[in-house]
Amino acid sequence: MTINELNKIFIVAKWEFLEKVKTKAFILSLIISPLIVMLFAFGPTLLLSHQEEGGTKPIGILDASGKYFLPAYKKISAFTLKNNQPAYIVRNLYNKASSINALKKTADSLTLKNDIDGYIFITSSNDAFKFEYRSPGSSAFKDLSRFERTLNQVRIESEFRKRNADTSLIRITSANVTMNPVKIDKSGKEAKNDFLVTFFSSFMFIMVLMMTILSSGGMLIRSLLEEKSNRLIEILVSSCTAKELLGGKVLGLCLLGLLQVLVWAIISLGLLGNNIIPPEAFNNILPMLVYFVLGFFFYSALFVGVGSVVSTEQEAQMVNSYLSILLIVPVVFIAPVIENPDTVLVKVLSYIPFTTPTIMLIRLNASHVPVSEIFLTFLILIISTAAAVVFSSKIFEIGILSYGKMSNLKEIVKLIKRR
Amino acid sequence: MLVLEGLRKEYKNLTAVDEISFSVEPGKIFGLLGPNGAGKTTTIRMILNIIKPSSGTITYNGEIINHAFDKLTGYLPEERGLYKKSKVIDIIVYFGQLKGLSKIEAISNAQLWLKKLEIEDLKERKSGELSKGNQQKIQFIIATLHNPEVLILDEPFTGFDPVNQQLIKNIIVSLAQQGKIIILSTHQMDTAEKLCKQIFLINKGKEVLSGSIAEIKKKYASNTVRIEYENASDKISALPGVVQADVFNNYAEVQLENNIAPEQFLKTIINQISLKGFSIIEPSLNKIFIDEIKKDFDN
């Protein structure tokens, strides 16, 4: 490659980079993409933890057995909101004068009138108890689990008392065992192997990779379309070779992608500092970045080639959606791969360049991947990227000068062979 | 001198350009004419080294063209358009740099040309905000910014109002006078007739007609004169040497016998009718174009 060629590649890359950096689409994607990723990653947790802040809830207890109300009342009333207000105001719905059926009817109507959020209904026959939480909507997960825990405690305490057992045993018996998974490797390092950490870490990287490729790939196809429809492409290829143009466009695109990643990295470092993202998510940051960059190059090279065949807006959308599907397919594998990172299928998928980046991003976090395998997959990605560049530049040389109906695959293959 | 020799371009089922040869001298505007789909664009693309000919050669000053030739060419394509969201000056400088100018050269040349085309004040605007005519001026600047030796202009006048057409015409003529090779591709036969010294008429990929305009007109001259007169319309057909005459109230178009020269005819009739005017009718390029293309399609 001569200095002249490099110079032209650089001029094209600079133009592509500077002109796209200024576009609204790019600035939006810079801000919106991490927002979407965060929404996916933290949305459910945020939703759960925010339910409590709904305020104090009136609930009722209708205890037909007569054994649970008082202790349950005490314990449930003790729950507080963040501002130290009681979480629940508990009403006793039991009344000796009425039949259980009548009481239940009254309680149901109170609930439906929204006087209370719902009520705990306790019945017993012989020594078996039945517990219901009756409410008009689907009940909040957090409330239900609190009531369950409370009533279990009450039941155990009453059984202990019945048998005159030492009540201090209650605390011991009600403590649960939790199993902490620890990932170990040959070097003796230990790491917390948390499904959530693995998921978030891999998931974030994969989402960011996808968004970067999709947004910059989409921009590239649109700009090629513009250049083709106003024949600027002819002035361009009469000033430099198609290869220089392709090289410049891919380079500009990659710079754009890297800028995006840089901005997002700064954002996530900020989140890391605030303990929003667990630091374990960045354990394998170096190989992960390599997979990210190689994956990005590979897909960008493909986008440029395929994009050059497009000559109308509709075709551009079609091509874009095909490539998006290609990108999204590996995401389906995230959860199963985290659970079983060492199956044969997963290993096979790690050697197919289309899925290599995604699968390896997960495997790195989910299990111990041998260094040899990491380098082998790097090599596969590098070779496939080179192949994609050669393939794309051939399509590109033909594609940029064809304005008619989009060539089908057969025609493209023929064209490539003929040259 | 730019020389095309035995140039041929084949596609799968189609010969777009079939064995054409011509040469273009510096300083003379060369007209590349032909109907739509005749092979003009393919020829231009080969000259610009965008596509390779299937056979035949293109040489510039004796050397077969290669990518070093890119710097020497400027091109105004027929379809118009620019990067809509980019600033005028940025676009001009980008293309100038691709043609080998330094950034400083590109900027100073751009200033010069923007001034020459009377659109200096638009340089910081986005190209999408400009009128069609002004966008076209920008494209013209892109084609000429790097002072190319070979300038290819595809329909440079369409889309301009008469004032700007004249402005562009003057610039093209002065570029030719500076010794540049200018290839003008157009459908406007009257423009080609006025500007071009040489033409090449192409149809269905093949040469139909070529040469200097003067020669071509001579070849297609039908020995016809136009005479203007007073009160003589009934005498015209009977004049000596007249083969056929289209007679109107005050003038007539008269075709003469082949062996009678117009000046000889003038001498004969000057005493017979009261003559107001006399001129030799040359066939217009437009008529030659239409006749030849028709003939070609009939074959």
**Model confidence over A354-401: pLDDT tens digits?**
888 888 888 887 777 888 888 999 999 999 988 888 888 888 877 777
- Dist. CA A395–CA A389, nearest whole Å: 10
**Model confidence over A103-151: pLDDT tens digits?**
888 888 888 888 888 898 888 877 778 888 888 876 677 788 888 888 8
For residue B267, give both structure tokens. 């001498």
At B133, give phi and psi (nearest 5°): -60, -40
| Chain B interface includes A237 (CB < 8 A) | yes
On chain B, the residues whose CB falls within 8 A of the CB of A226 are 81, 83-84
- Dist. CA A232–CA A241, nearest whole Å: 14
Residue A218 has pLDDT above 90, yes or no: no
DSSP 8-state secondary structure symbol assigned to residue B232 = -
| Residues paired with A133 in a beta bridge | A120
- Within 13 Å and on the Cβ side, how many CA atoms surround A48? 8
* Domains in chain B, CATH or no CATH each: 2-217 (3.40.50.300), 222-281 (3.30.70)
A29-38, A317-326, B164-173, B216-225: the lowest-pLDDT one: A29-38
- Within 13 Å and on the Cβ side, how many CA atoms surround B236? 25
- Dist. CA B62–CA B43, nearest whole Å: 19
What was the pLDDT predicted at A65? 81
- Dist. CA A199–CA B124, nearest whole Å: 49
Pick A238's closest partner by Cβ from B48, B83, B97.
B48
Residue A317 has pLDDT above 60, yes or no: yes
* Vertex A94 angle, CA A88 and A98, to 5°: 150
pLDDT values of chain B reduced to their tens digit, one per residue, 299 residues = 999 999 998 887 788 888 999 999 999 899 999 888 888 988 999 999 888 889 999 999 989 988 888 889 999 998 878 888 899 999 999 999 999 999 999 999 999 999 999 999 998 999 889 998 899 999 999 999 999 999 999 989 888 899 999 999 999 999 999 999 999 998 888 888 889 999 999 988 888 888 888 888 888 877 888 889 887 778 888 888 888 888 888 888 888 888 888 888 888 888 888 888 888 888 788 888 888 888 877 77
In which band, very low, low, confident or very high, does the pLDDT at A272 lie, cut at 50, 70 and 90?
low
Q: Where are the domains of chain A?
A: 3-45+191-418, 55-174
- Dist. CA A143–CA B257, nearest whole Å: 114
* Burial status of residue A325 (CB atoms within 10 A of its CB: 0-12, 13-18, 19 or more): exposed
Residue A341 has pLDDT above 80, yes or no: no
Contact criterion met (CB < 8 Å) for A226 and B70: no
Going by C-alpha positions, the residue among A53, A60, A49 that lies closest to residue A114 is A60
On chain B, the residues whose CB falls within 8 A of the CB of A237 are 50
| Chain A interface includes B128 (CB < 8 A) | no
What was the pLDDT predicted at A192? 57
B284 with B188: CB under 8 angstroms?
Answer: no
Write the CB contacts of B145 (distance below 8 Å, at least 6 apart in sequence).
Answer: B74, B92, B95, B96, B99, B101, B106, B109, B110, B113
B202 with B33: CB under 8 angstroms?
Answer: yes
Pick B83's closest partner by Cβ from A19, A240, A401.
A19
Pick B98's closest partner by Cβ from A11, A229, A401.
A11
A359 with A333: CB under 8 angstroms?
Answer: yes
For residue A333, give both structure tokens. 């594998």
Residue with the two structure tokens 């620890």:
A182
A280 with A197: CB under 8 angstroms?
Answer: yes
Pick A238's closest partner by Cβ from B50, B81, B90.
B50
> How far does B263 lie from chain A, in Å, by closest CA?
52
| Chain A interface includes B40 (CB < 8 A) | no
CATH topology of domain A55-174: D-Maltodextrin-Binding Protein; domain 2 (3.40.190)
Q: Would you say the C-alpha torsion B253, B254, B255, B256 has a positive or negative sign?
A: negative
User: To which H or E segment does residue B5 belong?
Assistant: strand B2-11
> How far does B229 lie from chain A, in Å, by closest CA?
54
- Dist. CA B196–CA B169, nearest whole Å: 11
Q: Any alpha helices (H) in A163-284, and if so which ranges?
A: 168-174, 195-229, 232-237, 242-273
CA distances from B85 to A313, B67, B95 (A): 18, 30, 16
| Residues paired with A393 in a beta bridge | none
What was the pLDDT predicted at A404? 56
Closest chain B residue to A415 measured between Cα atoms?
B12
The verdict on ipTM greater than 0.95 is no
- Dist. CA A10–CA A249, nearest whole Å: 9
Going by C-alpha positions, the residue among A180, A361, A218 that lies closest to residue A284 is A361
